[in-house]
Amino acid sequence: MGDIQLQDLFDMDFLQDFQDNFAKSLGIAAITVDSTGNPVTKPSGFTDFCMEYTRKSPLGCQRCMECDRHGGETSAATGKPAVYDCHAGLVDFGTPILLNGEQIGSIIGGQVLTEPLQEDKYRKIAAEIGVDPEKYVEAVRKVKYIPKQNLEAAAQVLYLMANAFSKMGYYKYQLREMSESINDTVMHVSAAMEELAASAHDVNDNQQELNKEIKNVDEISSKINEFTSLIKNIAKQTRLLGLNASIEAARAGAAGAGFGVVAEEIGKLADNSSETVDKIQEFTGKINESVNETVSKGEATSQIVDQQSIAISGAAKDLTGLSETASKLYELAHSK
SS (H, E, C) 76-145: HHHCCCEEEECCCCCEEEEEEEEECCEEEEEEEEEEEECCCCCHHHHHHHHHHHCCCHHHHHHHHCCCCE
Question: Residue 281: which of 218, 225, 215 has the closest Cα?
Answer: 225
Distance CA 47, CA 90 (A): 11
Q: Residue 194: which pLDDT band, with cuts at 50, 70 and 90? A: confident
Mean pLDDT, range 257-284, rounded to an integer: 65
Q: Residue 1 pLDDT > 60, yes or no?
A: no
Rank 78-92, 221-235, 296-310 by mean pLDDT and report only the highest: 78-92
Per the model's pLDDT, the better-predicted residue between 323 and 88 turns out to be: 88
Residue 148 has pLDDT above 90, yes or no: yes
Does 250 or 26 have the greater pLDDT score? 26
Note the pLDDT tens digit of each residue in 214-238: 777 667 767 676 666 666 677 676 6
Neighbours of 236 (CB within 10 A): 13
pLDDT digits (tens, 9 = 90+) for 150-176: 999 999 999 998 888 888 878 777 777
Q: Which of 16-25, 166-175, 282-291 has the lowest mean pLDDT?
A: 282-291
pLDDT of residue 121: 94
Q: What distances in angstroms separate CA 210 from CA 10, 96, 222, one per listed residue?
A: 63, 74, 18
Task: Check residue 307 and give its pLDDT.
Answer: 72
Average pLDDT (189-198) is 74
Q: Is the pLDDT of residue 272 over 70?
A: no
| Structural domains of the chain ordered from first start | 6-146 (3.30.450.20), 180-334 (1.10.287.950)
Average pLDDT over residues 40-50: 94
Q: What angle do CA 95, 9, 107 make, to 5 degrees?
A: 15
pLDDT of residue 89 exceeding 80, the answer is yes
- Residue 203's pLDDT is what? 66
**Average predicted confidence (pLDDT) for the chain:** 80
b/e burial code for range 190-216 (CB count within 10 A of at least 16 → b)? beebeeebeebeebbeebeeebeebee
The answer to whether residue 41 scores a pLDDT higher than 90 is yes
Best-predicted range by mean pLDDT (6-20, 173-187, 237-251):
6-20
Span 265-293, average pLDDT:
69
**Residue-level pLDDT at 83:** 92
Residue 75 predicted with pLDDT over 70: yes
pLDDT of amino acid 67: 85
pLDDT digits (tens, 9 = 90+) for 114-140: 999 999 999 999 999 999 999 999 999
Rounded Cα–Cα distance for residues 106 and 10 (Å): 13
